[in-house]
Amino acid sequence: MSGIVLPSFPPYFMLETTRLCNAKCVHCPNKGIEKTTPFLSDALFEKIAMELGHHSQEITQVAIFINGEPLLDKKLPERIQRLKELGVPRVIFSTNGSLLDETAARRILEAGLDDLDITLNSMDAAKYEAIRVGLKHAVVVANIHNFLRLRDAIRPTCTVRVRTEAHPLLTKEDIDTWLAYWRRHVGPNDSVYAKKMHNWGNQMPEAVESSSQTSAPCPILWSTFNISTNGDVGICCLDYRPNHLLGNVGENTIEEIWHGEAYAAIREKHAIGRRDAVPMCRNCSIWDDDQKIF
């Protein structure tokens, strides 16, 4: 069928420890996400972590975020440390950078963080604050510079990725200015990149006009396991409700869900060229060929 080999255990994980966010970004659905379980419980985290530790040789990476701002989880450093203690080779997360003060930076670096992705849309403060509503441009810029300094001193192996999206408010000149600035300031092993906006798995078609008409199977279904704060497993990180519930790690093991009937049914649709039968996969633009600008 698809020719994609299903690994016995997922190599990539996205593990959401909080659904809360301190920003109201104009292009993000977080404001409408159900938040009955704002944080991942200690008991459920430990259950997940123990299974990850048991399969650590099969895991490539755990991204400890999905929908919320990870730094709102005050237990984030100890959770990073726990995953590293259990043998997870690479732990990463993405942040808006607003809460990345000296204390937070030191704690996550000392915990063993391997990579940090920070979104800063523009070097124009007014445009940035119009996109990332509720955040202060000067604070985030200062936090990034401070994190780079602390990283070099505490954990030089931790890579940093500074990111923007080609938002309609931004011109080519805005992105060029942003790119030139951050290329001057990041380290040799860090990266600076921009991506086009996407349509959140066809759930926010107004966010961007998708050019994706592919019938090819999405590799995420064969590689990445996504866990929400309440233990629900959706088909990908864009399945933020989730619309397609594949199981719950509080009720079953990761391995059972990964090889379960619900996952198999979605993979089958993709494998036979019928991804359009899954509404949020139809015209999803996350893997458009031209998604990454540079």
> Above 80 in pLDDT, residue 257?
yes
pLDDT, tens digit (0-9, with 9 covering 90-100), for 271-282 = 999 988 998 888
User: Where is 48: in which H helix or E strand?
Assistant: helix 42-54
> How far apart are the C-alpha atoms of 11 and 210, rounded to whole Å?
29
In whole angstroms, give the CA distance from residue 1 to residue 273.
9
Residue 212 reports pLDDT greater than 60: no
pLDDT at 196 over 90: no
Least confident of 80-94, 165-179, 206-220, 231-245: 206-220
β-strands 91-95, 115-119: how paired? Answer: parallel
Domains of the chain: 12-277 (3.20.20.70)
User: What pLDDT does 293 receive?
Assistant: 47
pLDDT at residue 44, rounded to an integer? 99
pLDDT computed for residue 166 by the predictor:
80
Q: Which amino acid type is present at position 126?
A: A
Could you read off the pLDDT of 216-247 as tens digits, one per residue?
Answer: 899 999 999 999 999 999 999 888 888 899 99
Cross-strand partners of 162 = 118, 192
Those residues with Cβ within 8 angstroms of residue 119's Cβ, 6 or more apart along the chain or in another chain: 94, 95, 96, 97, 132, 163, 164, 165
pLDDT at 2: 56
Separation in Å, CA 3 to CA 112, 222, 251, 264, 275: 36, 11, 31, 14, 15
Structure tokens at 71: 């730094």
CA atoms within 13 A on the CB side of 271: 14
- Which percentage of the chain shows pLDDT scores above 70? 89
Q: How many angstroms separate the CA atoms of 192 and 185, rounded?
A: 10
Segment 99-123 shows an average pLDDT of 98
